[in-house]
């Protein structure tokens, strides 16, 4: 598993798009970690003039409640990355569990899991998310993370399930059975290591979706409006009619960051796609 993982990273780095994506991603991580150092002010300080236009002291202006927008943007990276990677990880883990089990076992469990996957696949995610978030009384980042994970695992499960079924029918799995390997060992040591690139792909796909979903929830005001995140920045900007007052930076900056982060993840995924499907490789 370690070996295939390392090979994956090597092949990824050789792909131009994936390299660009990974670089952007690394930059965001760096910003998230160094936010306190990079930010000129505290993101929650409300001591500045309200709705001030961009200036040297406030490159992106200030919000309607007098906070420095740049500082908010920098700190907001943390929430987006946290929800993105966190929900990506949670959704992929769930997808792997459901997908691999449904792909390998036979019988009623397979049918039930398969049906659940298909159900969650066709149930529209955003409305479900909205409804879930509306019913839940506490609306912190944790809630958003859970809601986004619960609605985002099905696609990965479906792909992983198909791949597991394919791998399980390969002769090396039959050979491993005949070599006396148990079911659990076959799943984890024979099948899963062959799906590393697929797992990585579903992780990045789920993370991309999570970043966008988190922004959407916050934008609708279904998160905690007191959190500092790109989504809440958009929420407040929209609420204070920032566009109409000419403070377009308040809307454009967080939106661009979301788009850039999501694109970076998609770019990495292009590289992973190319590994699984050599026909897509760049020449």
Partner 1 sequence: MRYALRRLPVLVVTLWAAITLNFVLPRMMPGTPADAALGKIAGQGPVTASQRRAIEVMLGVPHGSLLSQYWQYLKAIAEGNFGISYTYFPEPVSKVIGAALPWTLALVGTSTVLAFTTGALLGVLAAWRRGSRLDSVATVGCTFMTAFPYFWTALLLLYALGFVLGWFPIRGGYSSSVSPGWDWTFAASALRHSVLPAFTILISGLGGWLLGMRNNMMGVLGEDYVTFAEANGLPARTVALRYAARNAVLPSATAFGMALGMVVGGSLLTEVVFGYPGIGYLLYNAVVNEDYPLMQALFLVITVSVLLANFVVDLLYGFLDPRVRR
Partner 2 sequence: MAGTPGELGAAGGRRGDGVGGSAPGGSGAPGVGAPGTDGTSSGSGGRDGAVADPQPAAPVVEGEPGGHPQRTQQPLLFASGLDVVYEPAGAPVVHAVRGVDLSIDPGEMVGLVGESGCGKSTLGYALTRLLRPPARITAGRVVFDGRDVTALDQGRLRTMRHRGFAVVLQSGMNALNPVRTIDGHFADVLRTHRRVRGAAARQVAEELLGHVELAPTVLDRFPHELSGGMRQRVVIALALALQPKLVVFDEPTTALDVLVQRAVMDTIARLQAEVGFSALVISHDLGLVLGTADRAWVMYAGRIVERRESAALAGAPLHPYSAALLACHGDPTADNVQLGGIPGSPPDLSVPPQGCSFAPRCWMKEPVCRNDPPERVIGTGTVACHLAPRKLVVPRALEATVLASTAGGMGVGQNSTDGTATYDGRAALSAGPGPGASDGPALSPGAAAAPDGAAWAVRRRRSLERVEPEALVLQDVVKQFRTARRTGGRAGGRADGAWPGVGRARSSTVRAVDGVSLSLEPGHAVGLVGASGSGKTTLGRMMAGMDRPSSGTIRLGGLRVETMRSRDLPRYWQRVQMVFQDPYAGLNPVHTVGYAIGRALRNHQRLRDDRLRSELHRLLEVVGLTPSGQFSAKLPHQLSGGQRQRVVIARALAAKPQVLVADEPVSMLDVSLRAGILRLLDELRRDTGVSLLYITHDLLSARLVTDHLLVLQKGRVVESGPTASVLRSPSHSYTKQLIEAIPVVA
216 binds partner 1 (CB under 8 A): yes
280 binds partner 1 (CB under 8 A): yes
Distance of CA 7 to the CA centre of its chain: 23
Binding partner selected for residue 52 from partner 2, partner 1, none, CB under the kind-specific 5 to 8 Å limit? none
- 3-state class (DSSP) for residue 240: coil
* CA distance linking residue 59 with residue 215, whole number of Å: 23
108 binds partner 1 (CB under 8 A): no
Find the part of the chain contacting partner 1 (CB under 8 A) among 22-30, 91-99, 169-177, 252-260: 252-260
| Contact present, 92 and 159 (Cβ < 8 Å) | no
Find the part of the chain contacting partner 1 (CB under 8 A) among 7-15, 26-34, 54-62, 130-138: 130-138
109 binds partner 1 (CB under 8 A): no
Binding partner selected for residue 195 from partner 2, partner 1, none, CB under the kind-specific 5 to 8 Å limit? none
> For residues 49 and 111, which CB has a smaller minimum distance to partner 1 in the complex?
111
| Contact present, 41 and 57 (Cβ < 8 Å) | no
The first and second tokens of residue 283, run together, are 């020449």
- Partnered with residue 68 across adjacent β-strands are 62
Q: What's the angle, vertex CA 153, arms to CA 21 and CA 75, rounded to 5?
A: 50
The binder of partner 1 chosen from 150, 199, 234, 253 (CB under 8 A): 234
* CA distance linking residue 275 with residue 263, whole number of Å: 19
220 binds partner 1 (CB under 8 A): yes
Q: Calculate helix-pair angle for 196-219, 230-239, nearest 10 degrees.
A: 30
Residues that bind partner 1 (CB under 8 A): 17, 115, 118-119, 121-137, 155, 208, 212, 215-216, 219-222, 234, 238, 243-244, 248, 251-252, 255, 258-263, 266-267, 270, 273, 277, 279-280, 283
């Amino acid at each position: 598993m370690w070996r295939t993982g390392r090979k994956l990273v090597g092949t990824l780095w050789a792909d131009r798009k994936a390299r660009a994506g990974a670089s952007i991603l690394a930059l965001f991580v760096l910003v998230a970690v160094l936010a306190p150092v990079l930010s000129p002010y505290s993101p929650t300080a409300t001591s500045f003039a309200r709705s001030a236009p961009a200036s040297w002291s406030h490159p992106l202006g200030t919000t309607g409640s007098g906070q420095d927008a740049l500082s908010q943007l920098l700190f907001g990276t943390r929430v987006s990355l946290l929800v993105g990677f966190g929900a990506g990880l949670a959704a992929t883990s769930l997808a792997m569990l459901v997908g691999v089990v449904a792909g390998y076992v036979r019988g009623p469990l397979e049918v039930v899991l398969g049906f659940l996957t298909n159900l969650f696949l066709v149930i529209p995610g955003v409305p479900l998310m909205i409804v879930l978030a509306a019913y839940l009384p506490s609306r912190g980042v944790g809630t958003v993370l859970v809601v986004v994970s619960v609605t985002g695992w099905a696609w990965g499960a479906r792909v992983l399930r198909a791949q597991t079924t394919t791998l399980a029918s390969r002769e090396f799995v039959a050979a491993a059975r005949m070599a006396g390997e148990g079911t659990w060992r076959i799943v984890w040591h024979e099948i899963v290591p062959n799906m590393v690139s697929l797992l990585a792909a579903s992780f990045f796909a789920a993370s991309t979706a999570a970043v966008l979903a988190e922004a959407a929830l916050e934008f609708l005001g279904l998160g905690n409006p007191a959190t500092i995140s790109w989504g809440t920045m958009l929420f407040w900007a929209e609420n204070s009619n920032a566009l109409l007052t000419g403070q377009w930076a308040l809307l454009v900056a967080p939106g661009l960051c979301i788009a850039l982060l999501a694109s970076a993840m998609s770019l990495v995924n292009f590289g992973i796609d190319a590994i699984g499907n050599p026909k897509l490789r760049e020449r």
